[in-house]
Structure 1
Amino acid sequence: MIGKPSRILVIEDDCETAEQLVDSLATHGYEVDLALDGDQGLKLGRSVNYAAMTIDRMLPGIDGISLIRLLRDEGVFTPALIVSALGEVDDRVRGLRAGGDDYLVKPFAFAELLARVEALLRRSESPGKEIVLRVGDLELDLVSREVTRRNQKIDLLPREFQVLEFLVRNQGHVVPRAMLLQHVWDLHFDPMTNIIDVYVGRVRRKIEAGQAYPLIHTIRGVGFCVRAPG
């Protein structure tokens, strides 16, 4: 992490989970504040300029959904990752509509939580809306939805384009399969599905056939990473 460490607010009432979250984030270079209930979380969220927040949905005092609504109504738009044991589609929709930026279902791998926090930070630090994404000699035009590599057009189906776009937006970082499933298909992770591998395989074949080097790399047991050599 370059420059001043990002400051994260963790709002979590389960002491064991809270300790693990704080330790994991601190180990990866973040400054972390902890609130053990919704009232304390609201107070800190109002008064400190955090880079991001993780918010447990079921909290003593003010619940996580109400907390986010209150902050948004007051003009506090700190990126918020909702962490909850409630994983049904309606639960996730309510959380996102209340102003949450992402939703992670318990139990979760801490590697995925870190990846999601990093994604929130990258989004919030973007200076403006991008029109063209690039990685190595690959270009994605987000307006025309056209993909080219070494100026050669590559035809992708709409869902394939979404998969590639999400991977390229997170280039250099490992993207867990669960993140792809949620952000591209808006589905919760199902360990029995191979849809992610099928689509990534299709995209890989189309963008790497006859090319000088691969761009999509499989991280065994976790997910995928897009990166160019050098």
Structure 2
Amino acid sequence: MAAPIRGATTRQTPARSFGAKMKQQILIQLAEWIRATAGERGLLVPVSGGTDSALCFWLCQQALPAKAVAVHFGETLRGHAWFESLGPIETIPLPPEQEEKELTRWALLLSLSTRRRVWLVGSRNRTEDVFGTFSLASRVATYYPIVSLWKSEVLDLCGLIGVPEEIIASSHQADPLCGRTELMAEIGVERIDRFLKVKEGELPADELTILPADHLRYLDETYQRGQYKRNLPIRAPRF
């Protein structure tokens, strides 16, 4: 029988799309997967103060507490005390103001992980993966623990493990750096995931009838615009 999860909370939460027992099992299985696949290499986990990186760092600490290190750009980290309670956090000075800040950050992270010979953890979730809203620069990450989880599931699991409310609330706000526009924040995580599940064939098309026409059009345009990323890198056939 699997051991209880360290740090999980028993606070009351509203009914979700899947039960508490299943959530607990998912967390256990993900931690076991990390333990089985990371090998002797350590884990460098970029944390932003959002729910995706919070769940990633928590899982890595559950699996390999002696080998997982968080890294953050700048001095201010939302929920710093909570992250610090999990494990060590290293701070990297913010890159100089420039147009390619996202590219520079990932280049620095790749360089750091390569020198240390550790996995560079990416916190991309399934919503971003299917939607194509992740940055091209973030593709240098070499380890994706939560890429099978929809964003709504990430939020559910963050509630279970006791992620601070200020971190969870940030996922419902617009954040251009994460590819979340004002309109996406207005549409909401649950409806975006419902749209994408229909696209992936996991829900019937009539699930989209609750979406206003302008929201549906916007989501479809965003989805179509990002689909090329799912096929990268583009490889020539064998001749």
Q: Which has the higher helix share?
A: 2
**TM-score, length-scaled by structure 1:** 0.28
Q: Which has the higher strand share?
A: 1
Which fold has the larger relative contact order, with Cα–Cα distance below 8 Å and residues 6 or more apart in sequence?
2
